[in-house]
Amino acid sequence: MKNSKFKKTILVLGAASIILGSRIVFSEPGSEKDPLVSLSYLEKRIDQLKYYIDEKLSAVGENNNLSNSFEVVQILAGQSIIGKDGTEIILRGGTGNGPGRAKIVALGKDGLSDLTVGKDLKKDEEVPINHLLIVPRGDGRGVYAINDSVFLVKGGYEIR
């Protein structure tokens, strides 16, 4: 009797494992129980990403003051170049009526970063000639021309 109960238990366990095992082996990939990313879904998402990137790049290209190279900008005495985030400015000289001179324009206590000497130029400090200045934030910082001056500018800016 003990032997027949043992055989029945083994038979039931064997049948249960075969049924459960076949269910796992023969399950359909990509079903609700086994989600799978299809190639068409992936291609659709990649196309959406390409469109998004192209849209952003065209928006950047439309802004006429954004460039990957320096632009020569001449301003008259009393005018200012106000930069956007990351704008680079170099005072090159004057326009023929003497040497170019300019001062830092800043609304707060901070000014422009002078990368040539590694210091922060504060509001109303004179801009050294041929020094690379960076506008850290687009909050109204820039340079003010004391006399007619020539600058090299890379990045977004406006003349006021």
Predicted pLDDT at 109 = 76
Burial readout 121-142 (b: 16 or more C-beta within 10 A, e: otherwise): bebebebeeebbbbbbebeebb
pLDDT at 61: 59
> Per residue in 92-122, pLDDT tens?
988 776 788 999 999 877 889 999 999 999 9
pLDDT band at 141 (very low <50, low <70, confident <90, very high): very high
The structural domains of the chain, with segments of one domain joined by +, span 1-28, 37-66, 71-159
How many Å apart are CA 105 and CA 80, to the nearest integer? Answer: 8
Query: Residue 150 — very low, low, confident or very high, per pLDDT cuts 50/70/90?
Result: very high
How confident is the model at residue 69, as a pLDDT?
87
pLDDT digits (tens, 9 = 90+) for 17-36: 777 766 655 556 556 665 67
pLDDT at position 37 is 72
Compute the distance between CA of residue 76 and CA of residue 108 in angstroms, rounded to an integer: 25
Mind listing the pLDDT tens digit for each residue in 31-66? Answer: 666 567 778 888 888 999 998 888 888 776 555 555
Per-chain mean pLDDT for the chain: 83
pTM: 0.59
Question: Is the pLDDT assigned to residue 127 strictly greater than 90?
Answer: yes
CATH of domain 71-159: 2.60.120
127: left (phi over 0), alpha (psi -120 to 50) or beta: beta
Q: How confident is the model at residue 149 (pLDDT cuts 50, 70, 90)?
A: very high
Taking 70 as the threshold, does the pLDDT of residue 81 lie above it? yes
Find, among 19, 147, 160, 14, the residue nearest to 83 by Cα. Answer: 160
